[in-house]
Structure 1
Amino acid sequence: MAGKTMKPRSAANAERGAETVSERVLRECHRLYDHDAAGTGLIDIASKLDLHLLPPRKKINVMLMGNHSAGKSSFINWYVEEHIQRTGVAIETQGFTFVTSGRKRESLTGNATLHLYPHFKPLQQIEGVSEYLSTEISTSKQKKFSLVTFIDTPGLVDGDMKYPFDVDQAILWLGELCELVLVFFDPMGQALCKRTLNIVEKLNETQGEKIRFYLSKADEAGSECDRQRVMMQIVQELCKRPGLNKCGFDMPTIYIPHPNKPSRCVNQIEEVCRTIEKTISQTVQNTLNQLERDCELIHSTVDSRLQEDSLTSVRNRKAQSKGCVLGFLGLLVPAFLLVSLVLGNLSQEMISSLLGDNGTEMLQVYTSPVATFWSMVPSDLVCYVFLTLCVLSMLLIGIAKLSFRTCRTLTRKQKRQLLEQQEFVREVVKVKKRQLYTEYLRQSVGEHDMV
């Protein structure tokens, strides 16, 4: 695929613009979620509430796929304006290459790539794929590259071509994690590669809104009639697949512009750039909206925790009151039995000698219900009644003991921490989110429309 004259790395590296609003918004949102020493990141706060939050990404992931020699690597080089990826008619890309921006030009492979992209770590579950992962870090600031990570996939071919890993499964898995999937069809090569069409069909079942189709190398397809014929063949083949027969099927023609090789073919490569920019814009909005939802989730969870703790405290007090009453009744029965034993075994003369006349008279007044009760019990049932009262006493004391087993409640320190976290989310995070949203809107619509 013919390429535009690229700038030397030193020149591309020198062209560093100021941080864009979108970059700043995504970076600040990520910082609000990130762990810190004070434990004030949203992830730390959420974990204390048994909530699991995912930090937003600082960049969007754009996966390029297509048949071998479809121009995926050439497009990345053109977008970044650096010769990062090798290009040619041979199958140059045999693994997955992550092309991203950074502070210094560097190449990483294998585990280093997975360490740099922890959300892609499950990819290593596919046997053999870890050895075919690499990362190219560029300092280029061209276009929107600072907000994009390109994922260059292996060229797909039919026939007896053997891949060192399950390439179909790997592409499908990556497609779920990317914000955008660009499918390139090469009119001079295997544009109707069945492997490509099969993967696109499967990917479309769940990620159809992310997929964009392009006829690459359009300037090499011959005349306008030849291009139209190729496009018709591709579209017809795609429309035969269930789920891909959409109305208004769109496939822009693109090619890498070359100053020494003018072409009359309409080049819609800037449409790809606009699609990437729209995806970035949508990602920024989604990130801000997710930040708002996560703040509301934390706020409502704290309210629920405090409300539940208040209800638990009320239930505990009721249980303790019930336990006190049952415990009192359980102790009252042994007292009743003790009085009965005393009255039954001591004579009137002995009681009078011990308590005197006034004491004896008072004891008779207070114990008259006990005497009345036992007078009503037949003599042959006294033993059974006595045992029944003993069992009742033990039962009441046992129930009282169970009632005192209250639920755990929050300490004052824990309540204070919850309220402080809620206040931090309300007064710091949500205020910051509103500032970022206002800043982003000013960039998008202009200050005169914000009035």
Structure 2
Amino acid sequence: MSGKIKSRSAANADSLSGGVSCDERILRDCHQIYIDSDSGLISLAQSVGVTLLPPRKKITVMLMGNHSAGKSSFINWYVEEHIQRTGVAIETQGFSFVTSGRKRESLTGNATLHLYPHFRPLQEFKGFGYFVAQEICDTYARQKRFSLVTFVDTPGLVDGDMKYPFDVDQAILWLGKLCDLVLVFFDPMGQALCKRTLNIVEMLNECQGDKLRFYLSKADEAGSESDRQRVMMQIVQELCKRPGLNKCGFDMPTIYIPNPNKPSRCVNQVEEVCRTIEKTINQTVQNTLNSLEKDCELISEAIADKLSTDRQSSVDNRRARCKGCVLGLLGFCVPLLMLAFLVLGSLSKEVLDMTLGPNGTEALSLYLSPVVKAFESVPVQHQLYCSGGLVLLSFILLLLARLFFRTRPTLSGRQKRQLQEKLEYVQEVVKNKKKNLYEEYLRQSVADHDMD
């Protein structure tokens, strides 16, 4: 009976069918719903004038700080493999993307950015392409959720005359906008108050403050507990001097890479970093499912608007055709009446009787008598002008009829059927998939009877 309620980690461990966790499968399926070549939401949205972006299958965590702050060491510990070079010297001079894959592989240059379309604008930074690398690990470090994380290891920041081959400050700021989490490591060994690091943190905080997390790394090397407290107070005081960073409840856990051969009495909160990453993964899964729901509504509204606009255009076109027909009929009636009047006036009654018959002649005279009387009431010298005015009126009426016959384009029957099919696909198929994925996600934490 205890199996009714499972923790998230246990549920993910149980769901490793084929080596894929539940959250990983949800993100992958959501991504596939968008990019599917036949019925993907992106192509479907483009057909109705809506632009969508596919969700990412992993979160991106950027690590920044001064050189030798322990960024690369943390990645190696999290991945459980020696991927990044570590040392006191400035080992990481460029950006390194570390992610999981099918086999161990290293990529360099702009080819790395082809794996991350949302990072390709970084190529605009002069020289950046030569200092970016991709490290693919075949280990998944399941207990730490590495299969859902891409780490971005940034160059170690130093003050003074240190020259970087590209604008490292702007590159970090640009990456900070796209990353889901930014971990700032402060080294207690003399470089914690690196001004370049503090300046970038201040600029990141202006628009990405909710992504920032601060840690005192290598805490076991800071000396005694009082030394650590002094270092932390100095860092916090320096940060609080910066506008926007002097916020209440400032938190800076102490972390270090555990070493069984080097025991330390310092409190190690490195697991707090793992929990922060896990919370970001969980929030990303929820945000992805919520975005899928919103995008479905967005597409449905666009299709409904398109069909509604087409129906209104059809109604307007019918009205325009009716007005055009009436105006065109009036435009043709004016010259016909003039012609009939001229014929009636120029031909003798005998000729009309021979042509139309007595009854026809009498009927024509009866119907045209008002026109004849009206025309005869006009002085002779003005009758020519009156005739010209009637011709002009006929021309204007015909011109207006032509203008009213200009109708709006409407959808064909086939196009309306296709739109209706797309609407039904989004409402019935995609939303149902989203519902199933959400239920699968909730089952990791909620009891079965609560799902009913």
Q: What TM-score do the two structures reach when normalised by structure 1?
A: 0.95
Please list the CA deviations of residues 248-281 of structure 1 after superposition, one character each: whole Å capped at 9, or x if unmatched: 1000000000010000000000000000000000
Decide whether the 8 Å contact of 1:16 with 1:140 is kept in 2.
no
Q: SS state of the match for residue 443, structure 1?
A: coil
Please list the CA deviations of residues 411-451 of structure 1 after superposition, one character each: whole Å capped at 9, or x if unmatched: 01110000111111111110000000001001023324434
Q: SS state of the match for residue 445, structure 2?
A: helix
Q: In the alignment, which residue of structure 1 is the partner of 2:448?
A: 447
1:163 deviates by 0.2
Question: Is residue 172 of structure 2 the alignment partner of residue 177 of structure 1?
Answer: no
Q: In the alignment, which residue of structure 1 is the partner of 2:424?
A: 423
1:44 deviates by 0.8
Counterpart amino acid of 1:140?
A: T
Q: In the alignment, which residue of structure 1 is the partner of 2:134?
A: 135
Q: In the alignment, which residue of structure 1 is the partner of 2:54?
A: 55
Q: In the alignment, which residue of structure 1 is the partner of 2:253?
A: 252
- In 2, the alpha carbon distance for the partners of 1:85 and 1:266 equals 25
- In 2, the alpha carbon distance for the partners of 1:443 and 1:246 equals 35
Question: Is residue 411 of structure 2 the alignment partner of residue 410 of structure 1?
Answer: yes
Decide whether the 8 Å contact of 1:16 with 1:141 is kept in 2.
no
- In 1, the alpha carbon distance for the partners of 2:294 and 2:17 equals 34
- In 1, the alpha carbon distance for the partners of 2:19 and 2:286 equals 21
Counterpart amino acid of 1:285?
A: Q
Counterparts in 2 of 1:16 and 1:184: CA distance versus 1, 3 Å: farther
- In 1, the alpha carbon distance for the partners of 2:18 and 2:394 equals 85
| Superposition pairs of residues 293-304 of structure 1, within 5 angstroms | 293-304=294-305
Q: SS state of the match for residue 445, structure 1?
A: coil
Question: Is residue 288 of structure 2 the alignment partner of residue 287 of structure 1?
Answer: yes
| Superposition pairs of residues 68-79 of structure 1, within 5 angstroms | 68-79=67-78
Counterparts in 2 of 1:131 and 1:359: CA distance versus 1, 3 Å: same
- In 2, the alpha carbon distance for the partners of 1:286 and 1:191 equals 34
- In 2, the alpha carbon distance for the partners of 1:146 and 1:376 equals 98
Q: In the alignment, which residue of structure 1 is the partner of 2:212?
A: 211
CA-based RMSD: 1.3
Q: SS state of the match for residue 135, structure 1?
A: strand
Counterparts in 2 of 1:394 and 1:357: CA distance versus 1, 3 Å: same
Q: SS state of the match for residue 170, structure 2?
A: helix
Q: SS state of the match for residue 416, structure 1?
A: helix
1:344 deviates by 2.5
- In 2, the alpha carbon distance for the partners of 1:446 and 1:58 equals 27
- In 1, the alpha carbon distance for the partners of 2:75 and 2:354 equals 113
Counterparts in 2 of 1:257 and 1:280: CA distance versus 1, 3 Å: same
Counterparts in 2 of 1:17 and 1:409: CA distance versus 1, 3 Å: closer
Counterpart amino acid of 2:329?
A: F
Question: Is residue 356 of structure 2 the alignment partner of residue 347 of structure 1?
Answer: no
Q: In the alignment, which residue of structure 2 is the partner of 1:12?
A: none
1:19 deviates by 1.4
Q: What TM-score do the two structures reach when normalised by structure 2?
A: 0.94
Counterpart amino acid of 1:252?
A: P
1:374 deviates by 1.2
Please list the CA deviations of residues 27-56 of structure 1 after superposition, one character each: whole Å capped at 9, or x if unmatched: 0100100131x2x10001000011000100
Question: Is residue 96 of structure 2 the alignment partner of residue 97 of structure 1?
Answer: yes
Q: In the alignment, which residue of structure 1 is the partner of 2:329?
A: 328
- Structure 2: gaps spanning 5 or more residues: 1-15
Deviates more, 1:371-380 or 1:292-301: 371-380
Q: In the alignment, which residue of structure 2 is the partner of 1:278?
A: 279
Q: In the alignment, which residue of structure 2 is the partner of 1:46?
A: 45
1:141 deviates by 1.1
- In 1, the alpha carbon distance for the partners of 2:18 and 2:33 equals 25
Please list the CA deviations of residues 79-108 of structure 1 after superposition, one character each: whole Å capped at 9, or x if unmatched: 000000000001000000000000011001
Please list the CA deviations of residues 378-433 of structure 1 after superposition, one character each: whole Å capped at 9, or x if unmatched: 21110111000000000000010111110000101110000111111111110000
- In 2, the alpha carbon distance for the partners of 1:316 and 1:383 equals 39
Counterpart amino acid of 2:42?
A: I
Question: Is residue 35 of structure 2 the alignment partner of residue 34 of structure 1?
Answer: yes
1:16 deviates by 10
Counterparts in 2 of 1:414 and 1:355: CA distance versus 1, 3 Å: closer
Counterpart amino acid of 1:81?
A: E
Q: SS state of the match for residue 133, structure 2?
A: strand
1:17 deviates by 7.8
- In 2, the alpha carbon distance for the partners of 1:73 and 1:387 equals 93
Please list the CA deviations of residues 102-148 of structure 1 after superposition, one character each: whole Å capped at 9, or x if unmatched: 00110011121111111100011111111111100001111110000
Decide whether the 8 Å contact of 2:110 with 2:123 is kept in 1.
no
Question: Is residue 106 of structure 2 the alignment partner of residue 80 of structure 1?
Answer: no
Regions of 4+ moved over 4 Å: none
- In 1, the alpha carbon distance for the partners of 2:213 and 2:84 equals 22
Counterpart amino acid of 1:246?
A: K
Decide whether the 8 Å contact of 2:97 with 2:133 is kept in 1.
yes
Q: In the alignment, which residue of structure 1 is the partner of 2:222?
A: 221
Q: SS state of the match for residue 444, structure 2?
A: helix
Decide whether the 8 Å contact of 1:69 with 1:189 is kept in 2.
no
- In 2, the alpha carbon distance for the partners of 1:173 and 1:17 equals 36
- In 2, the alpha carbon distance for the partners of 1:444 and 1:32 equals 25
1:371 deviates by 1.3
1:362 deviates by 2.3
Please list the CA deviations of residues 192-241 of structure 1 after superposition, one character each: whole Å capped at 9, or x if unmatched: 00000000000000000000000000000000000000000000000000
The alignment covers a number of residue pairs equal to 435
Q: In the alignment, which residue of structure 2 is the partner of 1:66?
A: 65
Counterpart amino acid of 2:197?
A: T
Question: Is residue 355 of structure 2 the alignment partner of residue 359 of structure 1?
Answer: no
Deviates more, 1:221-230 or 1:297-306: 297-306
Decide whether the 8 Å contact of 1:201 with 1:244 is kept in 2.
yes
Q: In the alignment, which residue of structure 2 is the partner of 1:309?
A: 310
